[in-house]
Structure 1
């Protein structure tokens, strides 16, 4: 996801299995992407449900989007109707980290929800600077990482992430920012190994450097490239090392031929599916609000590109997800 510091209408359906006091989202999508205010903000229609349920490997329930703000319960209900019976919600700046921890610690949190937290690489650069983009003070990077480490020991935390490197929004030529991203990445790698948790990686325009650091420090046994963005060669390099690739709605985009070629290079035993919601809405609704219930559109592309019948593709992607996180969700037979 983009770094949050860069840039309710309740459903009438049955009450969700979630506390009415579930925390309000931290921010709206427009807060980090002002241009998105002019887009179509209506929610896409619900697609045909999947023939076998899968898990959304990465979403951000701390964001609100759309003409109508969906509650956590409504996101969960819509996902379930679409055949998505589990979600991993990720907090990637301190405010979202705290929000995610509070949600997951609530006894009434839906059992289908688990999560993870980390300091996003672009956020790491801001903590090193000491202020956000609006000039507001931030704690230093060590303090931010210490809070992440503490909250990862809380209930329903199943992954360290997203962490990694981003040379798109943070210049690789900025020595302090580059050093902060690398230091934070290495700290998260060490934390994942200490806690025996999977690691979700944010890698934007930084494939070579991410690979070098993982090899130098020793990648956690379960290393996942969230929203995989590499080509076929990089996909093979990751799969050969036993790492996992998670594909978002970008794989459906017309101009994503290299990404589909990458997907075709790896077996479904290394592939997961995600939304990165509210971002990266799959075709034909690109640019509109995204939520886990739209995963059937991405799964259809994964099945087509890999030449796999949809039910079998869902079964195999789910099996891969559970091989990384454990059998946290109960699938239909």
Structure 2
């Protein structure tokens, strides 16, 4: 769209900018993208996945965990983790898809979790945001039942539990307490306030921070990141969503991890290299990556 002089309008300039990927950050070595969605980033083929991971590795992101939302995505994530040794998979049903959990999907997920390229069960948990905004979203009761089953699967398999939580802090922590949490719990894209952060930290849960911590309105989230001890912090993209400031709204990919890692370093008053070492080492430990 142009104005009467043929110049692009401000609205069209903004729209076009949102379609552009962010520029490459300065390399920061040793990082891991603790939660991404390679298929949604355009990685539908082996060659596409390799290209995404080559791009990420060029700026210091050595490995990624690609995460499933539904059964189709879970099958794909396992395949992708076998295509490239820099990718690992997390499999499970997103809480909005909790209604898809039946005998058949349970059996298939149990088989997938036994695969050595699968490092986590998830993303699972509770999402109350979409219960009032989507006719297809599972209701809270179904979500709690599916969440409990995923918790049990993580405990039986010895794999990390990867949690999705949206607008359900209290209920989610209550379900975890009632069921008994597995050895390792990752609060993916942590979104709680400082009090919820303290509660999770006291329980030994790992808090994973995405680009949201860089947003201008994320004061409580930054307080949570400051509270999190070195041994319990991760960084992720949740790509293709949640691109860090100042590129919010533009397409996200694993190569953008250094932007958030550097923000966390500045926030916590440590060097970029120290922060990268902490974040990368934690991810490799939490997900029990094999030695390369």
TM-score normalised by L of structure 1: 0.77
Work out whether 1:237 is the aligned partner of 2:199: yes
Matched, 1:323 2:288: no
- 1:1-333 pair list within 5 angstroms: 40-50=18-28, 52-64=29-41, 71-105=48-82, 109-125=83-99, 127=100, 141-171=102-132, 177-328=139-290
How big is the shift at 1:328? Answer: 3.1
Shift of 1:217: 0.7
Contact 1:119 1:145 (8 Å CA) reproduced: no
Deviations 1:102-136 (A, max 9, x none): 2234xxx22111111100000114x3xxxxxxxxx
Q: Distance in 2 between matches of 1:329 and 1:275?
A: 23
In structure 1, list runs of 5 or more residues that go unmatched: 1-36, 128-139
Q: Return the alpha-carbon distance in structure 2 between the equivalents of residues 176 and 83 of structure 1.
A: 38
Go from structure 1 to structure 2 and tell me whether the alpha carbon gap of 1:252 and 1:65 turns closer, same or farther (over 3 Å shift).
farther
Are the counterparts in 2 of residues 65 and 289 from structure 1 also a CA contact under 8 Å? no
Alpha-carbon distance between aligned partners in 2 of 1:119 and 1:176, rounded to the nearest angstrom: 11
* 1:300-332 alpha-carbon deviations (Å, 9 max, x no partner): 1111111111111111112222221224355xx
Specify which structure has the higher proportion of helix.
Answer: 2
Specify whether residues 265 and 203 from structure 1 end up closer, same or farther in structure 2 by C-alpha distance, changes over 3 A only.
same
Deviation string, structure 1 residues 203-233 (Cα, Å, up to 9, x no partner): 0001101110111111011000000000111
C-alpha distance in 1 between matches for 2:278 and 2:140: 38
- 1:292 & 1:161 partners in 2: Cα distance? 19
**Cα distance between partner residues in 2 of 1:176 and 1:162:** 15
1:267–1:282 CA distance, 2 compared to 1 (3 A): same
Task: Tell me if structure 2 keeps the 8 A contact 1:167–1:205.
Answer: yes
* Equivalent residue pairs, number: 273
SS in 2 for 1:40: helix
Distance in 1 (alpha carbons) for counterparts of 2:264 and 2:103? 39
State the shift of 1:38 in Å. Answer: 7.7
Question: In the aligned structure 2, how far is the partner of 1:97 from the partner of 1:207?
Answer: 25
3-state DSSP class of the match of 2:131? coil
Which residue number corresponds to residue 34 of structure 1? none
Q: Distance in 1 between matches of 2:219 and 2:202?
A: 22
Determine the C-alpha separation between the residues in 2 that align with 1:191 and 1:148: 9
TM-score (norm 2): 0.88
CA RMSD of aligned residues (A): 2.1
Cα separation, 2, equivalents of 1:80 and 1:64: 16
